[in-house]
A = this chain, B = another copy of it.
Amino acid sequence: MTEFRNLMETFENEFPERDYEIKIICPEFTSVCPKTGQPDFGVLTFFYTPEKWCVELKSLKMYLQSFRNEGIFYENITNRILDDLVAVLAPRRLKIVADFSPRGGISTVVTVTHEAQA
């Protein structure tokens, strides 16, 4: 988890009796490579089924922007954002697909998933 998770605000899910999916596409994620100091760019896509809380979009954006000048690896970005969202939303299910721009001709996509315990 990261200290940034407090930036996210939630609102109450008005349809908790229904199992439905919210997909959020954020094509403007950027952070910094801890090895080279060079900026990294990626598209983050979230798929979640809310339980009690939904994430407010503008606050999600502010949260993601807090990584702008952080030095952090692809695998860590994706797993920590998953941890933060699970802590804040306690969703039924959450998947994050993080698709990073090519470096040295090589692209990387990290996919992480969380499912609430029954």
Contacts and interface: CB of A to CB of B under 8 A. Distances in A.
Contact of A20 (B18, B61, B108, B112): B112
Interface of A: 13-15, 18-28, 30, 38-39, 41, 54, 57-58, 60-61, 65, 68-69, 75-76, 78-79, 101-113
Contacts of A39: 28, 30, 65, 68
Number of identical protomers: 10
Contact of A61 (B54, B65, B106): B106
Contact of A104 (B22, B23, B38, B69): B38
Contact of A58 (B19, B20, B21, B104): B104
Nearest to A101: B105
A28 B54 contact: no
Nearest to A13: B75
B111 A21 contact: yes
A28 B57 contact: no
A18 B112 CA distance: 8
